[in-house]
């Protein structure tokens, strides 16, 4: 009898341990590639994410801390799994702060960002991944269990040198701004939504032409001329200084009411209704027959 009780107790303990392990299993891992950098060399460093095959993530945030003897430059995120940046990555005071989302979720192994490193000294240390948070694509924004792997910088110089990032000479890809109207944006005023892609070095910022000069703007952008009689010039600039300009011509902007988009869609379907030729002929015959019948009755 005691043996049966012991077996039951062991089974329960194993089940509990399995549940605990499953609940604490790492859903995501952020790591540096390569994991080791040599002193006195130039190289390309990537920050990457790898997720559990059974999990999907849709938001990431964190900080990269770079030692003082490392010169970081040429930051790029054109190939990032993050498609919408909330905090666009920038290098400032030895730190790169970033946060963004991937609508629809991501699962697998992918790149977050990359930058060029120049080790100006012969000291050792680490490039640290700090304050990292990864959120699951579960509809609740649950925080994923996450591990990080830093990059170690060896203090012994070698002749091994990785290739620096290539020069970016391509402008951002063509994009199409959209005019929307939503009470949640500027009290329902007409607003411009836009987003461009640049696979080489990533988008740096956006500009619009105001009074003959380019000024920085962000999406969403309240349109100054609510009558839409003035053309809008939007310029997307990448991190290498290349740019592309798109024009929203005056009077051509189609305003999308986000609250009534479905009703408008149904109305457009009704307005787009086309009768076949036989239907038109039948309609004409019915009208003529009705007219003839009415004329005969009057006589």
Write the pLDDT tens digit of every residue in 183-217: 888 999 999 988 888 877 778 889 998 888 899 99
Give the residue, 276 or 30, on which the prediction is more confident.
30
- The reported pLDDT for the residue numbered 250 is 65
User: What value does the mean pLDDT of the chain take?
Assistant: 76
What's the token pair of residue 4? 């049966």
Q: Which two tokens stand for residue 67?
A: 């030692």
Q: Which residue has the higher pLDDT, 175 or 256?
A: 175
pLDDT at 123: 62
As a whole-number percent, the residues of the chain with pLDDT over 70 amount to 72
185 or 256: which leads in pLDDT: 185
Closest Cα to residue 190, out of 177, 208, 209? 177
Mean pLDDT in residue range 87-103: 90
Does the pLDDT value for residue 177 go beyond 70? yes
**What is the reported pLDDT for 67?**
87
Question: Would you state the pLDDT for residue 284?
Answer: 72
pLDDT number for residue 12: 43
pLDDT tens for residues 3-49?
444 434 444 444 434 343 334 446 899 999 888 876 666 778 899 99
Determine contact, residues 248/192, Cβ cutoff 8 Å: yes
DSSP string, 253-284: ---EETTSHHHHHHHHHHHT----HHHHHHHH
pLDDT in the model for residue 121: 61
Give strand ranges (E) for the chain.
28-33, 36-38, 42-51, 57-65, 70-76, 84-92, 95-106, 109-119, 125-136, 146-149, 151-154, 178-181, 190-193, 203-210, 213-217, 221-222, 232-238, 243-248, 256-257
Residue 216 has a pLDDT of 92
Per-residue pLDDT band for 166 (boundaries 50, 70, 90) equals low
**Which domains, and CATH codes, for the chain?**
25-154 (2.60.40.680), 178-257 (2.60.40)
In angstroms, the Cα distances linking 108 to 99, 123, 243, 280 are 19, 35, 32, 56
């Amino acid at each position: 009898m005691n043996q049966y009780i012991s077996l039951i107790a062991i089974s329960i303990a194993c089940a509990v341990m399995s549940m605990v392990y499953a609940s604490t299993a790492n859903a995501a891992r952020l790591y540096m590639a390569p994991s080791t950098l040599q002193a006195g060399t130039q190289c390309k460093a990537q920050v990457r994410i790898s997720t559990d095959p059974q999990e999907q993530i849709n938001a990431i945030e964190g900080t990269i801390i770079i030692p003082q003897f490392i010169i970081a430059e040429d930051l790029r995120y054109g190939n990032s799994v993050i498609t919408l940046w909330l905090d666009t990555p920038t290098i400032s005071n030895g730190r790169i702060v970033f946060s963004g989302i991937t609508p629809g979720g991501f699962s697998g192994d992918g790149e977050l960002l990359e930058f060029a490193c120049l080790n100006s000294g012969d000291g050792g240390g680490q490039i640290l991944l700090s304050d990292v948070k990864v959120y699951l694509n579960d509809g609740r924004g649950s925080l994923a269990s996450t591990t990080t792997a830093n990059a170690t910088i060896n203090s012994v110089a070698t002749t091994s040198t990785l290739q620096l990032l290539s020069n970016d000479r391509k402008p951002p890809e063509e994009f199409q701004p959209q005019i929307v109207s939503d009470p949640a944006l500027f009290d329902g005023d007409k607003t411009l939504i836009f987003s461009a892609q640049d696979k080489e070095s990533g988008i740096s910022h956006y500009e619009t032409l105001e009074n003959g000069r380019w000024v920085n703007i962000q999406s969403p952008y309240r349109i100054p001329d609510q009558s839409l009689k003035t053309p809008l010039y939007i310029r997307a600039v990448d991190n290498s200084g290349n740019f592309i300009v798109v024009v929203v011509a005056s009077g051509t902007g189609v305003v999308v009411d986000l609250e009534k988009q479905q009703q408008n869609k149904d109305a457009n379907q009704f307005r787009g209704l086309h009768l076949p030729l036989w239907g038109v002929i039948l309609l004409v015959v019915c009208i003529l027959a009705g007219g003839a019948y009415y004329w005969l009755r009057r006589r």
